[in-house]
């Protein structure tokens, strides 16, 4: 039986993917801070899901992650779905600090622990580290400065880790998933606005899962967002500050 650990599995994308993998017959190690939500998640597939209360900003992340891996009998894939932040035009510094702690600090700690696990301990053909980054990581977005910068960090970190794995002949694949807007609590916590091309979880989750299982290096979800992303990356730096992206 294959095993996946999902960090940030208590809601949104992570919860949905945890449920799907359990339904596909995988052993799932689900982690987040909200253990009540994780208890409810386990109740859906009690034989396949185990969980652990993990705060990725706490110093004991590595130990708790290794304990969870042991509980599910090893790990083939780890998916980092924990994330926060998004809309902060007022530049609230507490909000930005939380965003950096979870998206930058937490992801780095989890990736290091997972990389070392696959390098030193795992007994698998090929391990995989996947992270839900965002299309927002490809440009600096004025209304979400810390969020877009944190996602850019994640993308560069994954690219570097991929290269390191090749240099060190470590058998681990890296997957950087870049969704556009997905209808989850992350968007609902921002003021009501008409966001373009919002995807439902029913639509986005299978596409994310396929990208991970196919071992894609970078996957933009979906093709419409890939086009938008390609176009906006072509906009010259001198014009970018003048664009009125208010979403
Ligand atoms: N929704 C979108 O439009 C969209 C688009 C592109 C990328 N993304 C990315 O997708 C990822 C998942 O977001 P979502 O949309 O599914 O939002 P969500 O429903 O708010 O889920 C966020 C998850 O992160 C966990 N988390 C937050 N802080 C944590 C911490 N300190 N320690 C451990 N877990 C923590 C939350 O669990 P607890 O609160 O229980 O800890 C929750 O499970 C994020 O990285 C987000 O940036 C989302």
- Tally helices (H) and strands (E) across the chain: 9, 7
- Helices 201-213 and 12-23, packing angle to 10 deg: 60
184, 185, 222: residue to mutate for ligand 1 pocket, most atoms within 8 A of CB: 184
238 alpha carbon to ligand 1 midpoint, in Å?
Answer: 33
1 alpha carbon to ligand 1 midpoint, in Å?
Answer: 27
**CA distances to 14, 41, 104, 176 from 24, in Å:** 15, 15, 31, 22
Q: Which residue puts its alpha carbon closest to atom 32 of ligand 1?
A: 55
pLDDT of residue 192: 59
242 alpha carbon to ligand 1 midpoint, in Å?
Answer: 30
Closest CA to 175 of 194, 154, 149: 154
pLDDT of residue 247: 59
The answer, yes or no, to whether residue 189 has pLDDT greater than 90, is no
Dist CA 48 CA 43 (whole Å): 10
For the chain, what is the mean pLDDT?
95
Dist CA 212 CA 192 (whole Å): 32
Residue whose structure tokens are 């949905």: 16
Task: Give 143's contacts (C-beta < 8 A, 6+ positions apart).
Answer: 87, 88, 89, 245, 246, 247
Q: Which residue puts its alpha carbon closest to atom 36 of ligand 1?
A: 8
Q: Is the pTM of this model over 0.95?
A: yes
Ligand 1 proximal residues by C-beta, below 6 Å: 8-14, 32-34, 54-57, 81-84, 102, 106, 132, 134, 179, 181-182, 184-187
Could you report the per-residue pLDDT of 36-83, keeping only the tens digit for each?
A: 999 999 999 999 999 999 999 999 999 999 999 999 999 999 999 999
Confidence of residue 194 (pLDDT cuts 50, 70, 90): confident
Count CB-CB contacts under 10 A for residue 193.
11
Confidence of residue 244 (pLDDT cuts 50, 70, 90): confident
**Segments of 43-91 assigned E as strands:** 49-53, 77-80
List domains and CATH numbers for the chain.
3-242 (3.40.50.720)
pLDDT of residue 246: 64
Angle formed at CA 77 by CA 74 and CA 82, multiple of 5 degrees: 110
Give first-to-last CA distance, the chain, whole Å: 42
Could you report the per-residue pLDDT of 10-45, keeping only the tens digit for each?
A: 999 999 999 999 999 999 999 999 999 999 999 999
Could you report the per-residue pLDDT of 110-132, keeping only the tens digit for each?
A: 999 999 999 998 777 889 999 99
pLDDT of residue 29: 98
pLDDT of residue 138: 94
**Segment 229-244 mean pLDDT:** 90
**For residue 94, what are its two tokens?**
């507490």
Dist CA 106 CA 4 (whole Å): 18
pLDDT of residue 123: 77
pLDDT of residue 125: 80
pLDDT of residue 200: 97
138 alpha carbon to ligand 1 midpoint, in Å?
Answer: 19
Could you report the per-residue pLDDT of 200-228, keeping only the tens digit for each?
A: 999 999 999 999 999 999 999 999 999 99
């Amino acid at each position: 039986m294959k095993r996946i650990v999902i960090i940030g599995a208590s809601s949104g994308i992570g919860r949905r993917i945890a449920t799907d993998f359990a339904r596909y017959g995988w052993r799932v190690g689900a982690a987040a801070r909200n253990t009540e939500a994780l208890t409810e998640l386990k109740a859906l597939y009690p034989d396949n899901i185990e969980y652990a209360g993990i705060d990725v900003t706490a110093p004991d992340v590595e130990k708790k992650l290794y304990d969870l891996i042991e509980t599910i009998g090893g790990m083939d894939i780890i998916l980092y779905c924990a994330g926060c932040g998004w809309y902060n035009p007022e530049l609230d510094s507490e909000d930005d600090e939380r965003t950096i702690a979870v998206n930058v600090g937490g992801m780095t700690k989890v990736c290091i622990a997972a990389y070392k696990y696959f390098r030193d301990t795992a007994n698998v053909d090929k391990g995989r580290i996947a992270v839900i980054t965002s299309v927002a990581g490809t440009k600096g977005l004025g209304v979400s400065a810390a969020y877009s910068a944190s996602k850019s960090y994640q993308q560069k970190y994954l690219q570097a880790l991929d290269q390191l794995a090749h240099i060190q002949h470590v058998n681990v694949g890296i997957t950087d998933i870049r969704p556009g807007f997905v209808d989850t609590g992350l968007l609902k916590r921002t003021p009501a606005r008409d966001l373009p091309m919002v995807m439902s979880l029913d639509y986005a989750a299978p596409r994310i899962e396929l990208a991970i299982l196919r071992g894609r290096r970078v996957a933009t979800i979906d093709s419409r967002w890939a086009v938008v992303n390609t176009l906006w990356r072509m906009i010259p730096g001198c014009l970018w500050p003048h664009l009125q992206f208010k979403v």
